[in-house]
């Protein structure tokens, strides 16, 4: 369920799919504001800036900064709207490409890793492990729903409490204490084991 707080930060994501795989990058930095932990994998996402006239402009920027892909924003399909935390709304779009070599390394080499192609099914099977950034699971699920029934597809809507990969405050606390992101997630997952 979405909160009643009006969003003050907007972002867009681009799920770039080729066959049964998607273009993923690994986050290099942790940010509570942007709801990410260093080491998490994600499809390209970018915050909407004041100079972006619309989602298309931000999508084009994401496909320059996080990955390198020349796109036609008219080919993007809205998959969902995700509240990654109260007052942050992420709108995710899908684009199909014909060949993986169309996607290269983006300009932001200090913020994300080079592009890696991952099977969509890996996102589904890693549900709740925090391997992927919040909202990625829901976006891949909505993409699969679109593929299975395109004529009846309606974009999903998710509040932050609906997300399967919510980042607990304990993980941020471990990172704040000097533990790297992957280790913080590992420790948190280990503490949850019976």
183: in domain: yes
Q: Which residues of 84-100 are buried (b: 16+ CB within 10 A; e: fewer)?
A: bbeebbbbbbbbebeee
2: in domain: no
15: in domain: yes
Q: Which of 160, 170, 116 shows the shortest CA–CA distance to 138?
A: 160
| Burial category of 76 from C-beta neighbours within 10 Å (exposed 0-12, middle 13-18, buried 19 and up) | buried
Say how many domains are in the chain. 1
| Residue 135, token pair as written in the block | 């909202």
55: in domain: yes
Q: Is 1 helix (H, G, I), strand (E, B) or coil?
A: coil
61: in domain: yes
CA-CA distance, 37 to 133, in Å (whole number)?
8
1: in domain: no
118: in domain: yes
Residue span of the structural domain in which 44 resides: 9-192
- pLDDT tens digits, 49-67: 889 888 888 888 888 898 9
- pLDDT tens digits, 104-143: 998 888 889 899 999 999 999 999 999 999 999 999 999 9
123: in domain: yes
CATH code assigned at 109: 3.90.79.10
């Amino acid at each position: 369920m979405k909160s009643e707080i009006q969003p003050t930060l907007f972002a867009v994501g681009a799920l770039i799919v080729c066959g049964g795989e998607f273009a993923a990058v690994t986050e290099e930095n942790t940010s509570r504001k942007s709801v990410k932990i260093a080491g998490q994998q994600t499809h390209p996402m970018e915050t909407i800036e004041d100079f972006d006239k619309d989602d298309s402009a931000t999508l084009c920027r994401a496909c320059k900064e996080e990955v390198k892909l020349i796109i036609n924003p008219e080919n993007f399909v809205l998959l969902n709207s995700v509240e990654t935390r109260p007052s942050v709304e992420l709108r995710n779009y899908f684009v199909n490409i014909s060949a993986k070599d169309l996607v290269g390394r983006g300009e932001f080499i200090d913020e994300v890793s080079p592009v890696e192609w991952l099977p969509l099914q890996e996102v589904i099977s890693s549900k709740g492990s925090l391997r992927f950034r919040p909202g990625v699971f829901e976006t891949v699920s909505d993409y699969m729903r679109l593929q299975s029934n395109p004529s009846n597809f309606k974009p999903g809507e998710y509040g932050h409490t609906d997300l399967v990969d919510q980042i607990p405050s304990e993980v941020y606390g471990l990172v704040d204490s000097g533990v790297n992101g992957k280790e913080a997630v590992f420790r948190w997952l280990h503490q949850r084991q019976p």
